[in-house]
Amino acid sequence: MKVTVKKLQGGECTIEALPTTSILDIKRQIFLHLKVPVEEQKLLLLGRTLADDQTVQGYPIKDGTKLNLVVKKPEGLYEVALKYFKKLGMTDTESVNAANRLLKISQEKFNKLSWDDIDRLCRDCLLDESGQSQPAPENEPENDDIYSL
């Protein structure tokens, strides 16, 4: 069956699905068509959020059904750090202080990088996101910690 996915901010695609196709698999197909990372996708059918671990047959989805795609804002370093520190058992105040220290230290370290280091870091991030890897040039160290972060 064909399912149309409409991105609320504009854009749409048509996905081929079977009744046994998982919602997570649909999200992976959406990534291939619309380039929205799976973890940032929220699929809605008639205002109801679809669960990743469910299959198409678990919902009233048939040929020609339209799903709405909401793109969730990715969490920033501060929010992720705050959650991490809270998981470690820190109080709210301790977590906020630790997250603020982490941001300050990260900014200080980043400010000390050369333009070449920043270029390599950006290139590595882009390659990592695309699932590609690039061997280090012969004159560069193969140390993973060259950015000293």
CATH of the domain at 54: 3.10.20.90
Angle of helix 92-111 relative to helix 77-87, nearest 10 degrees, comes to 140
Residue-level pLDDT at 10:
86
Residue-level pLDDT at 8:
84
Do 10 and 63 reside in the same domain of the chain? Answer: yes
Contact by Cβ (8 Å): 26, 33: no
Q: Is residue 55 part of a domain?
A: yes
Range of 95's domain?
A: 77-129
Q: 22: helix, coil or strand? A: strand
Per-block average pLDDT, block size 10, for the chain (149 residues)? 92 95 97 92 94 96 95 86 93 95 93 91 79 58 50
Q: Is residue 138 part of a domain?
A: no
Residue-level pLDDT at 60:
95
The encoded tokens of residue 111 equal 């400010």
Residue-level pLDDT at 103:
94
Do 7 and 63 reside in the same domain of the chain? Answer: yes
Single pTM value for the model: 0.56
Do 64 and 94 reside in the same domain of the chain? Answer: no
